[in-house]
Amino acid sequence: MGSIRRSDFINCSADKVWAFVGQPEKLHEWFPITSTRVEGNKRWITLAGGITFEEDIITLDHDLRRFQYKIVNNPFITFHLGTVDVIADGPNRCMLMYSTDMEPEVLALPIAGAASIGIAKVKEMFDGK
Amino acid sequence: MGRKILFITTDQQRYDALGCNGGTIARTPVLDALSRAGITFDRAHPQNVVCMPSRSTMLTGQHVSTHGVWMNGVPLPEDAPSIAADLRGAGYATALIGKAHFEPLLDPFLRFTENRMGSQKITTDNPKDPHRGFDHMELATHGAAGQLHYSQWVRENHPEAVGGYYNVLDRELQVNAEGGGDTNAPQIKVNPIPREWYHTEWVAQRTITWLQSLPDDRDWFCWMSFPDPHHPWDPPASEMHRVNWKDLDLPEGYIANAAKREKVIDSKLRHWRGWYDGTFVSNYEAPAKWVPATLTADQVREVNAYTHVENELIDEAIGSVMKAIETRGWGNDLDVLYTTDHGEFQGDFGFLFKGPYHVDSLMRLPLIWRPAPSSNIEPARVSAPVGLVSLAATFAHIAGLEQPSYVEAPRLPHTDNDAATLGHERVLTEWDSVLFGKIVHLRTICRDNWVCTAALPGTMNEAGDGELYDLTHDPLQHVNLWSDPKAKAMRESLLADMWDNLPKQVSPLRNMDAPV
């Protein structure tokens, strides 16, 4: 199992950061992908290389500030669980954390790399605001 | 006009692949001639034995601890030092044609410039400030998959040839263990592709085309980078008549007797035995489902035959480029440097491929510098230890530039006396891998014809473990003297020298964003 975790602290309230990253349809505004489409509990994302992933939204918990999804109907991916957490660290600071567990395990690595880009983007957008 | 520089690299090639280094199978007359006319290094080591870290060292002139590309999958930062950028700043036209691999190949998000340029079929991302200082990049890797220029070219122009290449990855995206050929050796395939469509030919032809685009009076630096003889071993079927595997002797490094082989392996650091038994595969590029203990003598011979064929094709491709350069009238002012990024087991100790194993199979590299005839530098063989870390300073020296402040080693020497003057006393090699919890860290020094490797704590090794070889009396590295009391003084001397000279590792370590 490929299990990865990327995170960073952001000097901004957890509520404010969550109000943005907790919108599954806005993933392309911070993650390095080209488009996002959401219908009910389904999401489709398209990567720059042209690959489209179909995803099931599993958890969208605004109290816990947790979003979970899994890639489905993909001939290569036999297991996937992606988790985005925003954890408060006082009133004006939070941690944005992105975790992925995946088979084939090696695919977890490029997703982790993309997550680092995404987290840096959110930090740029919200840090100190 | 100054001296032009043709920098030729192969991928995963052994020192003894070439006739000038004692190779007796592959015919390499072009490289042998360059060796006779130039400086041949008999103890050249990489600073890491996988592609991305080693290639980053070539470009930056830095050890792995400094440039921070500690394993395949860790991208070299876009703003890392680049000798190509310095040469370009001095007026050189610059190109990299073939395998770059400063950035991960597995890149579904198209995050990395190499892949983006390939997918967009462009040869520069920014003409005013090109990627890593190369005016022109046309890139390739080991086959027709992926986004790089060669793959796009094959798919667009010769789609029927795509399926002839071996599938490098299996359905689980692990490096494929599937066997082929006559012996079912892993990563072997008879490839029906016509020779003129094969990547070795493509790299040479694209190099010639770029050189032909330059004006006669332009100075240039061209890195021509062949993906072979790295696995998979799938050269054009039309060329397989060159070497019949059934005619080959087993390589000197292969220990035919299994009991003796396993005794030698068991004398080394523990991760050797772990890989041999298939329980500890710490390098992604070795097929995860392949167990080295199953390797047969015939498979060793067949893999070697395919490799020799690929090496002959490389030599002939270099010959065609040299001829084109001579036709342009540049020969007298042309420096040629030839090397590879790391070696290959090719059957030594019962292994194929590579990994955290710091022995000559993977560390002793071919390295030839044929200085421009106009420079009047005498031919020589150099036995002093040198590293690929010296290449960047050598390119600067050839171009008449000051040694860049960022490099960590002097230029390559002309002779052993010159090596002593320049301070080429030792060469250092590092390994760090943490692939999903399989952790190996090694630090190695080669000095005075000894090789000493210290293991740092990891999954199978503990602090205080290591390997020590006397290359003079044990050139095959069968006898680990690490715990021999008679060798203790030498071990301590080498370790002290290594720790004194290894750069401090950049911290924190950058993330690994792909397996390769």
pLDDT of residue B487: 98
pLDDT one-digit tens code per residue, B160-207:
999 999 999 998 889 999 999 999 999 999 999 999 999 999 999 999
Query: For chain A, what's the residue count?
Result: 129
User: How far, in Å, CA of B176 to CA of B289, rounded?
Assistant: 8
- By DSSP bridging, strand B334-340 and strand B4-10 are parallel
Please report residues of A whose CB lies closer than 8 A to that of B116.
48
Beta bridge partners of B435: B438
User: How far, in Å, CA of B417 to CA of B436, rounded?
Assistant: 46
Q: Where exactly are the structural domains of chain B?
A: 4-423
Beta bridge partners of A61: A66
CA of A1: which chain B residue's CA is closest?
B436
Give the residue from B4, B8, B5 showing the smallest Cα distance to B316.
Answer: B8
- Chain B within 8 Å of A6 (Cβ-Cβ)? yes
Which residues have CB under 8 Å from A59's CB, separation 6+? A66, A67, A68, A83
Q: What is the pTM of this model?
A: 0.97
- Report the top-level CATH class of A2-126: alpha beta
pLDDT one-digit tens code per residue, A11-69:
999 999 999 999 999 999 999 999 999 999 999 999 998 899 999 999 999 999 999 99
Report residue B19's pLDDT band, with 50, 70 and 90 as the boundaries.
very high
pLDDT of residue B274: 97
Report residue B1's pLDDT band, with 50, 70 and 90 as the boundaries.
confident
**Contact between residue B90 and residue B97 where contact means Cβ atoms under 8 Å apart:** no
pLDDT of residue B171: 87
User: How far, in Å, CA of B363 to CA of B318, rounded?
Assistant: 23
Return the higher-pLDDT residue of B227 and A50. Answer: B227
Q: Where exactly are the structural domains of chain A?
A: 2-126
pLDDT of residue B90: 97
Tokens 């009133």, located at residue: A91
Report residue B437's pLDDT band, with 50, 70 and 90 as the boundaries.
confident
Tokens 């299996």, located at residue: B170
pLDDT of residue B366: 98
CA of B105: which chain A residue's CA is closest?
A110
Give the residue from B206, B208, B200, B226 showing the smallest Cα distance to B328.
Answer: B208
Which residues have CB under 8 Å from B380's CB, separation 6+? B39, B40, B414, B415, B416
pLDDT of residue B28: 98
Please report residues of B whose CB lies closer than 8 A to that of A32.
109, 111
pLDDT of residue A50: 87
CATH 3.40.630.90 fits B4-423, yes or no: no
**Contact between residue B160 and residue B119 where contact means Cβ atoms under 8 Å apart:** no
User: How far, in Å, CA of B17 to CA of B20, rounded?
Assistant: 9
Option in A6, A105, A117 nearest B111 (CB): A117
User: How far, in Å, CA of A11 to CA of A91, rounded?
Assistant: 9
Query: What value does the mean pLDDT take over residues B481-507?
Result: 98
Taking only Cα atoms into account, the Rg of chain B, rounded to an integer number of angstroms, comes to 21
Beta bridge partners of B429: B444
Interface test with A, best of B111, B284, B285, B512 (most A CBs within 10 A): B111
| B185 to A84, A125, B12, B166: CA distances (angstroms) | 44, 53, 18, 12
- Chain B within 8 Å of A33 (Cβ-Cβ)? yes
Size of interface A-B (CB pairs under 8 A): 65
Option in A32, A76, A109 nearest B512 (CB): A109
Decide: helix, strand or coil at residue B427.
strand
Decide: helix, strand or coil at residue A58.
strand
**Contact between residue A12 and residue A18 where contact means Cβ atoms under 8 Å apart:** no
- Chain B within 8 Å of A106 (Cβ-Cβ)? yes
Is B111's CB within 8 Å of A113's CB? yes
Please report residues of A whose CB lies closer than 8 A to that of B172.
76, 103-104
Which residues have CB under 8 Å from B283's CB, separation 6+? B50, B353, B354, B355, B356, B433, B435
- Chain B within 8 Å of A91 (Cβ-Cβ)? no
CA of A6: which chain B residue's CA is closest?
B511
- Chain A within 8 Å of B513 (Cβ-Cβ)? yes
Option in A33, A48, A113 nearest B511 (CB): A113
| B455 to B269, B271, B390, B460, B488: CA distances (angstroms) | 8, 10, 25, 10, 16
pLDDT of residue B435: 83
Token pair in block for residue B49: 């034995």
- Chain B within 8 Å of A45 (Cβ-Cβ)? no
Is A49's CB within 8 Å of B512's CB? no
Distance from CA of B501 to the nearest CA of A (A): 32
Is A47's CB within 8 Å of B110's CB? yes
Interface test with B, best of A1, A80, A106 (most B CBs within 10 A): A106
Neighbours of B501 (CB within 10 A): 15
Taking only Cα atoms into account, the Rg of chain A, rounded to an integer number of angstroms, comes to 14
Which residues have CB under 8 Å from A69's CB, separation 6+? A24, A43, A55, A56, A57, A58, A81, A82
Query: What value does the mean pLDDT take over residues B223-238?
Result: 98
From the number of C-beta atoms within 10 Å of its C-beta (0-12, 13-18, 19+), residue A35 rates as exposed
From the number of C-beta atoms within 10 Å of its C-beta (0-12, 13-18, 19+), residue B190 rates as middle
User: How far, in Å, CA of B359 to CA of B351, rounded?
Assistant: 12
Report residue B215's pLDDT band, with 50, 70 and 90 as the boundaries.
very high
| B313 to B13, B167, B211, B238, B299: CA distances (angstroms) | 13, 21, 21, 12, 22
User: How far, in Å, CA of A42 to CA of A76, rounded?
Assistant: 19
Neighbours of B264 (CB within 10 A): 18
Which residues have CB under 8 Å from B353's CB, separation 6+? B231, B283, B285, B286, B287, B344, B345
User: How far, in Å, CA of B392 to CA of B403, rounded?
Assistant: 9
Distance from CA of A2 to the nearest CA of B (A): 7
Beta bridge partners of B495: none
Is B111's CB within 8 Å of A114's CB? yes
Is B172's CB within 8 Å of A48's CB? no
- Is the pLDDT at B436 greater than 90, yes or no? no
Mean residue pLDDT across chain B:
97
pLDDT one-digit tens code per residue, B83-135:
999 999 999 999 999 999 999 999 999 999 999 999 999 999 999 999 999 99
CA of B175: which chain A residue's CA is closest?
A106
Beta bridge partners of B233: B188
Query: What value does the mean pLDDT take over residues B44-66?
Result: 98
Distance from CA of B73 to the nearest CA of A (A): 9
Please report residues of B whose CB lies closer than 8 A to that of A116.
511, 513
- Report the run of H or E that residue B31 belongs to, with start and end: helix B29-37
pLDDT of residue B172: 87
pLDDT of residue B427: 98
- Is the pLDDT at B259 greater than 90, yes or no? yes
- Is the pLDDT at B484 greater than 90, yes or no? yes
Interface test with A, best of B436, B438, B516 (most A CBs within 10 A): B436
Give the residue from B492, B493, B447 showing the smallest Cα distance to B472.
Answer: B447
**Contact between residue A2 and residue B436 where contact means Cβ atoms under 8 Å apart:** yes
pLDDT one-digit tens code per residue, B368-381:
999 999 999 999 99
Cβ within 8 Å of A, B 242-261: none
pLDDT of residue B60: 98
